[in-house]
Amino acid sequence: MVLVGAGQAHDGPVLEHLLAHLKVQRRGPGRPRTRPDRLRADKAYSSRATRQRLRRRGIVAVIPEPSDQIRHRKRRGTQGGRPPALDTEDYKGRNVVERGFNATKQWRGLATRYDKLALVYRGAAVLRAITLWLPHLSDTP
């Protein structure tokens, strides 16, 4: 699924929509799961609302805390609460996602967002996803 949000907005508001349409394929037979075990994200997703949303759905948040949030929490002292847990070994797997974004952004129009219409931009993103996916089809038996 390719979802295009507003260019000037951050990705946080789109997270709920993405989670609602998420499908995780099972290794064997059966319908796809709609809840992943964990969500790896960068510091931009480290908001209280995002963490609560994931906790409600039973999804482990593997999101580092930004330095400004750390300073704010420490400034509040004991009222600041505990820092959110972060599995640093699991977070190292996030590089796969970043490499996917980097491969997608090799198309100049996607990287610079020349297209003003969301429909055209989404079409380019879908086309790029297909061109990245096609070479992998020849690898499968």
Per-residue pLDDT reduced to its tens digit, 55-82: 999 999 999 999 988 898 889 888 888 8
pLDDT, average across residues 6-14: 74
Between CA 99 and CA 92 the distance in angstroms is: 12
What's the sign of the alpha-carbon dihedral 13, 128, 21, 98? negative
Residues 27-47: tens digit of each pLDDT: 889 999 888 889 998 888 888
pLDDT band at 138 (very low <50, low <70, confident <90, very high): low
pLDDT for the residue numbered 54: 92
Backbone angles phi, psi at 112, to 5 degrees: -100, -10
- pTM assigned to the model: 0.74
